[in-house]
Structure 1
Amino acid sequence: MAEYLSPGVYVEEFESGSKPLEGVSTSTAGFIGLAQRGPVEGLPQLVTSPADFQRQFGGYLSESAFGSYRYLAYSVDQFFANGGSRCFVMRVAPSDAKAASNEGRGAEALSIVAKNPGAWGSLVKVVVTPASKAKTQIYEANGTRYRVKSTNGFYAGDVVTFTSGGDTQWNRIVSVQDGVIELAEELDGDVVDAALLPTKLLATSEFDLIVAFGDEVEQFDKVSLNPEAPSYVDKVAARSNLVQVQSLIVSEGAVAPFEAVTGVAEGKLEFVLGGGSDGTVGSIAASDFMGEDRGPGRRTGIQAFIDNDVVSIMAVPGVTDANVQLALVAHCENLGSRFAVLDIPREKTKVADVLTHRDLFDSSYAALYNPWLSVFDPLDKRNIFVPPSGTIAGIYSRSDTSRGVQKAPANEVLRGVVGLDVQYNKGEQDILNPKGVNLIRSFPGQGIRVWGARTVSSNPLWKYINVRRLFIFLEESIKTGTNWVVFEPNNEQLWARVQRTIDAFLTRVWRDGALMGTSAAEGFYIDIGRSTMTQDDIDNGRLICVIGVAPVKPAEFVIFRITQKTGSE
């Protein structure tokens, strides 16, 4: 409570009304798969366009090298072509993939390793040239201690050169303090030079490091092997997106860093990293996609998305291993904030085979789509068949943006798709649709469309995709928008504010057409207070709010009943 100690006018602000509650995004996708380059552990990387994906993860993978595991790049392309605006990508690499390094090229003093595994690292070019970041003249000599014009840029441990005419002396700094530099050994001859244009100079010795991959060039100027200096190569190069650099030696003598790295006193060292490998298909296992939980910031595969709170649509394009798909579904169910889009193996085209794969799942947090889609392959310059999950994720995003999450993502045209791997007819869909398999079909004059909107749940309450995704939207929006309630006094005033906040949000959702009823009261109800909480709940810090909503269901079966009317009737 505020204190009033002296006479005066006090103006205070207080909150009395409801806090606005904003709906969360439901159109951000998450993809896991093999790529040419990119991190294989840590946080998934944000991608906002196909060009952005290529900058971070490289281009398309060849069918001969990676077979059915190569579809990540194509699926991301299809996601953006069909209306997606942003996604997060986590790269998976075969266990025998290797990162390129500078082994045999100055590796005794400086280790340079590609940032992540892959043959791409063998195209990284490194250039090392000598440099100096600071120089000064000596005003006074006293044994190994020298008063200089400026000590800026000089640090204990730096290797320095003293030049006088054509002579050069090498030395090492012991300490720098109050305009005085102490060297490891005394310099020979007359070193004092107080002239306006000095000819005798004390200078630091460093090197420039340039790393290039294609059009991407990183330049680290005047780096050293001195751990005490701000220009220490390990610190400066830590921001590189291409390589990891580590100094392996700290010379005790007066050896120039450039010479320690290259083995020569002058010139420049130029080389390309080697030994990078993409690995082999045979070494890829389901566990690579399922990932490992190595702790925050070090998770891999599907587990890496535990650290991401933005993604609401998940897919592992083209990977139809039951272990991977069940792990993805479990991930979505455990978090409760995202929905899995699953592919059916391409070879399973017969109705019986499709149903065999479908029977592996029972979840309202996943949907199955079939068949595979024919799209243009920029790598082979021909049409190929790709899994539908990337395209469907784009349609989810497009439908959410244009119509809202309450609209079933079906009866939507697939962009960039020129054909289907299998043409299913109505009779076959009559068998697959009730089982929760969503078919993609081609209709004369209407293009290729998604013709199903069911989850793989056996619970009839959750058989429609839009119902489950609407509840994900409502739950995440309310959870995020009411975080301010935690630790507030649990009394009638708080209950009233919470009710007003949620009521305003659900009223807006009802007006957008996501809830049933001709009035807001028919679309939802909110119950909070003594009817939902006991004194024991209040004593144990629990605030319980019961919310009921009536979601809209898709008009899956449109029926017109027509009869004959005679003139006498």
Structure 2
Amino acid sequence: MPTAPTFPGMYVEEVPSGVHPIVGVPTAIAAFIGWFPRGPMNSPEEVLSFADVERTFGGLHKDSDTSFALQQYFLNGGARAYVVRVAAPGAGAAALGRAHVDVLQADGAGAFTVRARDEGAWGNDLRVQVLVATDPARFDLVISLLGGDAGNPTVLRQETYRGLTADSTKTDDPLYLTTAVNAASELVTVGPVTGANTPSQPAASGLVSSAVVDKGALPDTNTLGVTVTIQGLPPRPITFPGKPDSVETLAAAFQSALRTAVANKPVWSQAVVRVVPDNADPTKSRLQVLPGAASGLTVTVENLGDDHTATALNLNGATTHAGAVALAGGGDGAHPGADELVGSEVGTGSGMFALENTDFTLLCLPSLGNQSASDNDPFASAGTLDAEYSKAVGNAIAYCRRKRALLLLDPPDSLPSPTALRNWLQSHSYVRDEYSALYYPRLAIADPTRNYLPRSVGPSGTIAGLMARIDAARGVWKAPAGTEAKLFGVQDLGYDLTDPENGTLNPIAVNCLRSFPAYGQVSWGARTLAGGDAASSDYKYVPVRRLANFLESSLLIGLKWAVFEPNDEPLWSQIRLNIGSFMHGLFVQGAFAGRTPKEAYLVRCDSTTTTTTDQGLGVVNVLVGFAPVRPAEFVIIRLQQLAGQTQS
């Protein structure tokens, strides 16, 4: 506020400049909605690379078209996306659900419940191990996610939590079971067994010796022989020479021998032998044997003492538990139909309405185009296809219009030729809108889940990545088409279009994907589905529609400062200054047509746009106009032969 002068002299005031720079919003943030084997349900998860997709949603899956669309998105230049996992409830064993298991106490009573963090059959590959801790009142917990061959699984991810307590009187302890695990785990959540309010100390996993080992009194023997029986196989002797000089040396030798003893059970390469404290006598120790991913472990000890008895180390009478407790009951559910893709606005929103608080600009629904025969795919039935497709697309277009985004549609995989596509468009006119675009044909890419055989995928993910790449290099006003619009990661096109066939699809606003000898596979069209020759839409072209979306969103965010400001000429002049500066910056970059700023854009905010009545109602009217740069869709070369010229 102004300084109140009280004495003769100089005063300094800092006066606001009135400049509120407008920053352009991102133009190529894609949103993908579809089925995944794992990940949060109906929750928009931001991913910045395909590695994020692998960590959160399980990566590529043979039944997930959306996972392949995301791979193509990042491969072609995409940098940021939101992913929403959806699935239908399903039925029977395939019903959507979370895997779970009760971890027991030594007496067989329940201690606590472990549940997979997200729904899906992936949770059935989770394993839980309870390790003996130094403090007898605490325990360590290991959560492992297995993968690979069922007969020879590997640990894909593992989480370890040390020094936990399940004593319900210590809920304020930062290492209280539910507090420590639920706050950090990306794999599971834990809680008390249903009906139990005081979970108790869980029993240790694997095999813990019932007889103690005196640290200073290991038996004096020339050889140490241990016989191991695994999962009903004939006993296998393990022999290593000499007397171990410590319990730790004994455990290390035992572990090394155990990992190499059974050649036909490679899962035992993960076996662990631990030295754990004896609760009754701190001068003595026990051994805990964890068989990794295996189970069914029994151990007998032979020739351990001079009298050939197992007096020093007795595993024969040990309490045996599963090496790793497996979760069960997880189901993937059925593939999503229109109801799941569209979702609901109730609560936090589901399906596409889960994206309500995100700022996406491109929307992809890759499963819409998959009509291959499948009992688990609602889009595979010809009888329900039209109803499902129309409901999903109709709602998606309306949502994109509200969110200022562009819907990228995949052609159904049941359209083998341009003629079939034209006939399909005639009977599905509801897809035509300035907020939607269709690319044809489908693409063939390598499928790592099927030994890299070709897989047919819709082009929406590839085109979304291409748009992100062109936006970064040239700007949102540049059409994502032409010889520089190469399609990366594409082995072949589902249909090799000729020029005449291209000429029949372009007038009906189908963006063709072409293969040219000098350039490879490229995008060769840039029209919205409202851009057919028979229509006269101002937003015929994709770059014009996207540029308008960009301007609207940028100005909407950039002018929020003007709310509740005094509604008169000082405010109007600031608005003109800030918008004019923003528009001029775009003009210099080539975003608008025209040789001068006056020809390229206009900004009007004065008494001609905001009347006295408007001021009384608290309304400020701003008129922003721009001259879009439309793509040179047809380049015509005229040649003339000169018969001869005479010089004057």
- Taking structure 2 as the reference length, what is the TM-score of the superposition? 0.70
Of the two structures, which has the highest relative contact order with CA contacts closer than 8 Å and spacing of 6 or more? 1
CA distance in 2 between partners of 1:27 and 1:292 (Å): 25
Q: Does 1:45 align with 2:112?
A: no
2:141 maps to which of 204, 209, 216: 209
Q: Distance in 2 between matches of 1:250 and 1:219?
A: 27
Tell me the equivalent position of 2:440: 370
Letter in 2 for 1:48: L
Given the alignment, which residue of 115, 118, 124 partners 2:117? 115
Q: Does 1:410 align with 2:464?
A: no
Match of 2:492 among 419, 423, 426: 419
Which of 525, 543, 552 is equivalent to 1:452? 525
Cα separation, 1, equivalents of 2:619 and 2:35: 45
Question: What is the CA–CA distance in structure 1 between the aligned matches of 2:52 and 2:197, rounded to whole Å?
Answer: 45
Q: Tell me which residue corresponds to 2:510.
A: 437
Partner of 1:319: 368
What is the CA–CA distance in structure 2 between the aligned matches of 1:460 and 1:415, rounded to whole Å? 32
| Alpha-carbon contact 2:103-2:114 (below 8 Å) kept | no
Equivalence for 1:176? none
Shift of the 514–3 alpha-carbon distance from structure 1 to 2, 3 Å rule, reads closer
For the 8 Å contact 1:223–1:236, the answer to whether it is kept is no
Query: Unaligned 5+ residue runs, structure 2?
Result: 90-94, 146-154, 211-278, 280-287, 289-320, 370-388
**1:192 match:** none
Cα distance in 2 for partners of 1:246, 1:49 equals 33
In the alignment, does 2:644 pair up with 1:567? yes
Instruction: Return the offset for 1:102.
Output: 0.4
Change over 3 Å in CA distance of 1:55–1:252 after alignment to 2: closer
Kindly state the Cα deviation for residue 355 of structure 1 after the two structures are TM-superposed: 2.6
Provide, for residues 153-172 of structure 1, a one-character-per-residue CA deviation record: whole Å limited to 9, x for no partner: xxxxxxxxxxxxxxxxxxxx
- Distance in 2 of aligned mates of 1:515 and 1:30: 28
**Aligned partner of 2:343: which letter?**
G
Alignment partner, residue 220 of structure 1: 161
Letter in 1 for 2:394: L
Correspondence for 2:127:
125
Structural mapping, 1:155-554, within 5 Å: 205-213=137-145, 214-221=155-162, 222-226=164-168, 228-231=171-174, 232-239=176-183, 240-248=185-193, 256-258=200-202, 270-281=324-335, 284-296=336-348, 299-309=349-359, 311-320=360-369, 321-336=389-404, 338-358=405-425, 359-381=429-451, 382-411=453-482, 412-457=485-530, 458-554=535-631
Relative to structure 1, the CA distance from residue 103 to residue 325 in structure 2 (aligned partners, 3 Å threshold; closer, same or farther) is: farther
Q: 1:252 to 1:393 in 2, by over 3 A?
A: closer
CA distance in 2, matches of 1:450, 1:374: 15
Deviating more after overlay: 230-239 vs 536-545:
230-239
Instruction: Report if aligned partners of 1:225, 1:250 keep a CA contact under 8 Å in 2.
Output: no
CA distance in 1, matches of 2:51, 2:432: 37
Distance across 2 between alignment mates of 1:568 and 1:504: 52
Q: For 1:462, what is the secondary structure of its paired residue?
A: coil
User: What is the SS of the residue equivalent to 1:14?
Assistant: coil
Deviations 1:405-447 (A, max 9, x none): 0001111111111211111222222221111111111122221
| Mapped partners of 2:346, 2:204: distance in 1 | 37
Identify which of 44, 68, 71 aligns with 1:74: 68
Q: d(CA) in 2 for partners of 1:326 and 1:462?
A: 19
Q: Distance in 2 between matches of 1:104 and 1:126?
A: 8
Match of 2:252 in 1: none
Cα deviation for residue 559 of structure 1 reads: 1.0
Q: Cα–Cα, structure 1 residues 219 and 563, in superposed 2: closer, same or farther, change >3 Å?
A: same
SS at match of 1:293: coil
Q: Secondary structure at the match of 1:461?
A: coil
* Structure 1 unaligned spans of 5+: 134-203
In 2, the alpha carbon distance for the partners of 1:118 and 1:437 equals 37
- CA deviations over 1:363-392 (Å, ceiling 9, x no partner): 111100111111111111212211111110
1:10 CA displacement = 5.7
Deviations 1:142-198 (A, max 9, x none): xxxxxxxxxxxxxxxxxxxxxxxxxxxxxxxxxxxxxxxxxxxxxxxxxxxxxxxxx
- Cα distance in 1 for partners of 2:575, 2:179 equals 49
Per the alignment, in what secondary structure is the counterpart of residue 324 of structure 1?
A: helix
The alpha-carbon deviation at position 399 of structure 1 amounts to 0.6
Preserved CA contact (<8 Å) 1:36 1:60: no
Shift of 1:362: 2.4
Counterpart of 1:229 in structure 2: which amino acid?
D
Residues 101-134 of structure 1, C-alpha deviations (whole Å, 9 max, x = no match):
105867944221111111110111112245577x
% identical aligned pairs: 34
CA 1:424/1:100 → structure 2, altered by over 3 Å: closer, same or farther?
same
Please say if residues 110 and 261 of structure 1, whose CA atoms lie closer than 8 Å, have aligned partners that are also in contact: no
When residues 517 and 357 of structure 1 are mapped into structure 2, their CA distance, relative to the original with a 3 A threshold, is same
Match of 2:148 in 1: none
- 3-state SS in 1 of match to 2:332: coil
Secondary structure in structure 1 of the residue aligned to 2:593: coil
User: Per the alignment, in what secondary structure is the counterpart of residue 368 of structure 2?
Assistant: coil
> Number of aligned pairs?
484
SS at match of 2:101: coil
CA RMSD of aligned residues (A): 2.8
Distance 1:90 1:531 in 2: 46
For residue 375 of structure 1, give the secondary structure of its aligned residue in structure 2: strand
- Range 518-527 or range 243-252, more displaced: 243-252
C-alpha distance in structure 2 between counterparts of 1:307 and 1:108, whole Å:
41
**Structure 2 contact 137–165 (Cα < 8 Å) conserved:** no
Structure 1: which amino acid aligns with 2:182?
A: A
AA in 2 matched with 1:76: L
Q: 1:50-103: CA deviations, max 9, x gaps?
A: 2221111113222xxx3xxx2112111111111111211111223122211105
CA distance in 2, matches of 1:485, 1:357: 48
Note if contact 1:103-1:274 (Cα within 8 Å) is conserved in structure 2.
Answer: no
CA contact (8 A) 1:50 1:76 kept: yes
Residues 499 and 426 from structure 1, CA distance in 2 versus in 1: closer, same or farther, beyond 3 angstroms? same
Cα 1:259–1:129, aligned 2, differ >3 Å: closer, same or farther? same
- Which shows bigger deviation, 518-527 or 209-218? 209-218
Quick one: structure 1 residues 252 and 506, their matched pair in 2 at CA, closer, same or farther if it must change by over 3 Å? closer
